[in-house]
Structure 1
């Protein structure tokens, strides 16, 4: 049985008004926006709980960031295979409800006087597990709601809303801390956001195509291997995976100790940290707005190269931060980094959703994310260790310097030779030593790569 066509979804799309008038996308958009806003509050609130309430150091704060991303290393591959087997929307709802309960446990424990750092680590890890399944399912579910030509607009709107949430969330976190006198109260915002997300998902009317039936001989291990092979053999997916791993290692590394750096090295107050991080997040909004324009003007391949070239070296402004007017350096660095990273993500994400055969999309995403996001806990732990061994400012120089060099990874593959990324995988020549699979087995679509414009 072939995978259902996604070119003409049965539920239809309004011709005028674009995705603003697409009811089901609007619900997904609202739910995701609420969830991302809550998560951006937690990005500031959880380290503040650890630093201000439990009085932990830079290394312990970095461990919290590592715990959030560690599940990608542990369960990323089987999660992608399970997402390709299961209906995606129920998976997403279950993840939202699990995260809701986990975040409610933190203020409950704090008010009972039994909150510990081990509890925070467990919550960070548990919500990280839920995020793995949610993100895999979400990336596969979006092409079920939108046609391929609408995916760039849909991804840009979702990324833009996420960036807006990242602007407002840290400021709200700082305001709640100032008014309530406790960072744990801010976590209630994230808990409520997961409830809103679950309700919005439940309100979507459109059905989704049934997952492709599994072959009797298929096992979870073979399905995981199929996704890994597809990524490893594709020159575009392969180089983007390596670049994502390298850039995330350094990017999230400096972000893991950013709150501690601002409070203890630069002298920013806990309430003002939210305002500084909100200013840094403005770049993501800009990146989402200009992403499709960059792709049209320069092409998808060159546009992505340009976005990352602008973003990666700009992080070197952050270690220059000083009290007062010197905070402009950290804000400017964050804005430029955010703009380039989000623009590149919009272009890459929309392309990958169209380029990858749909029945493989969950496994391809999880295979890439295993490498892309699997380096994050390592980078976070290294950042904490560097902060303790060298000091916070020298550690920031090392981490942002490493990030500035990652752009050269993109020059290794075929991206630099083309204006646009291909829309379909190149047909693969059969390996005579490889046992052929049954008809309908996954892999290449058999369509040629279009010539670059």
Structure 2
């Protein structure tokens, strides 16, 4: 697999793209908090605007991915994100990057990321055989973990050492490198064409994808558990980005390093995901890893003391969260890709993203509202407890009974009239 030049370029492009995305996810909120003095409600709105494209565009992205080459979508979205962040950096240097402009940039980057994420999740199925999916996903998710190490640390360090516009420009540079890498892929992609002379209508294809996911017990549970987790986690992260600099008095560099600790943990989780499901069973790994990864966030609201002490504790918490959450991510992706026919890969991924990630804008807004009404510590405790609903849903579903091997995918569903 690693001898395949197209896979290597996909791996490299996805890695640097994730590095730019992770840096931007720290830079834009910190710029709003530290430079623009955004309130809790404004920070929640900024994060929600960047996440609402998931709700608006995920299903459309799934249809486009099933119709087009994934390479085309990935290079176009990388170019668009580089241009958006580049324009924001120029605006910042000119002193005209206010909160309204930041909202526009967050929405543009979020919208393009929806299409990139669905495309890259589908591209692996078109590059490797099904018996290599777990290994391939482990490699891709391992590179994403490496990006999680460098991205937040880079964003926080640049915000502390230089200025917000320089930090924003760093994200644009990484998206440009991803564009240059992925555009070199030349392998033809097998895209199943409809039997009709005309392609099916857009909403008809979306309905097929939704019906397929809703009809499969494992994928249906993934949707519900993901929605519960993402809603609660979005609220937690909004409060978290206020809690670290304002309550724990951490610098931008310390915030970036604390967030970056999820990276080495996620790298370990990716390595474990290549071995543990086949040894202990997919269901056992999913439920136990989700419970451990989500439960560790209950420790964060109790943190007090000097920045040195709290930073060390946050590194430990985020490392554990990164390990177990990445173990869940890789295992879930392998389940989804294995039980889904090739012709439905894009729409299945988009439907799960739509249901799971579509709740994040509401979660981000709720986090800002709760932080203003209850304070950061109480809000963190309540929303961290809500994260445990996700492993509870998996434990009560057929997903928990998956064994050491996954079932073969069914035939592609017959198109609806």
In structure 2, the residue matched to 1:402 is 386
Describe how 1:220-231 pairs up with structure 2 within 5 A. Answer: 220-231=202-213
In structure 2, the residue matched to 1:77 is 59
Distance 1:212 1:383, change over 3 A: same
> Does structure 1 residue 312 correspond to structure 2 residue 285?
no
User: For 1:442 and 1:286, how far apart are their aligned partners in 2?
Assistant: 41
TM-score (norm 1): 0.87
> Does structure 1 residue 198 correspond to structure 2 residue 179?
yes
Note the C-alpha offset of 1:327.
Answer: 3.2
Describe how 1:98-117 pairs up with structure 2 within 5 A. Answer: 98-117=80-99
Question: Aligned pair count?
Answer: 413
User: For 1:297 and 1:319, how far apart are their aligned partners in 2?
Assistant: 35
Note the C-alpha offset of 1:40.
Answer: 1.3
> Does structure 1 residue 34 correspond to structure 2 residue 16?
yes
User: For 1:293 and 1:410, how far apart are their aligned partners in 2?
Assistant: 21
Describe how 1:229-240 pairs up with structure 2 within 5 A. Answer: 229-240=211-222
User: For 1:370 and 1:405, how far apart are their aligned partners in 2?
Assistant: 19
Gaps of 5+ in 2: none
Which residue of 138, 141, 164 maps to 2:120?
Answer: 138
Cα RMSD, aligned residues only: 1.9
In structure 2, the residue matched to 1:412 is 396
> Does structure 1 residue 94 correspond to structure 2 residue 76?
yes
Distance 1:190 1:417, change over 3 A: same
Q: Which ranges of 4 or more aligned residues in structure 1 deviate by more than 4 Å?
A: none
Q: What's the CA shift string for 1:237-295, capped at 9, x where partnerless?
A: 00111000001111122112322210001111222211222224332111111111111
Distance 1:440 1:372, change over 3 A: closer
Mean Cα displacement is larger for which, 215-224 or 35-44?
A: 215-224
In structure 2, the residue matched to 1:441 is 414
Maintained 8 Å contact 1:319/1:330: no
Mean Cα displacement is larger for which, 192-201 or 212-221?
A: 212-221
Maintained 8 Å contact 2:224/2:356: yes
In structure 2, the residue matched to 1:23 is 5
Maintained 8 Å contact 1:314/1:404: no
User: For 2:157 and 2:63, how far apart are their aligned partners in 1?
Assistant: 41
Gaps of 5+ in 1: 1-18, 428-438, 444-453
2:358 match: secondary structure: helix
Note the C-alpha offset of 1:344.
Answer: 1.0
Note the C-alpha offset of 1:326.
Answer: 3.1
TM-score (norm 2): 0.94
Distance 1:371 1:79, change over 3 A: same
Q: What's the CA shift string for 1:79-119, capped at 9, x where partnerless?
A: 21122122221111111111111001111111112111011
Which residue of 354, 363, 371 maps to 1:370?
Answer: 354
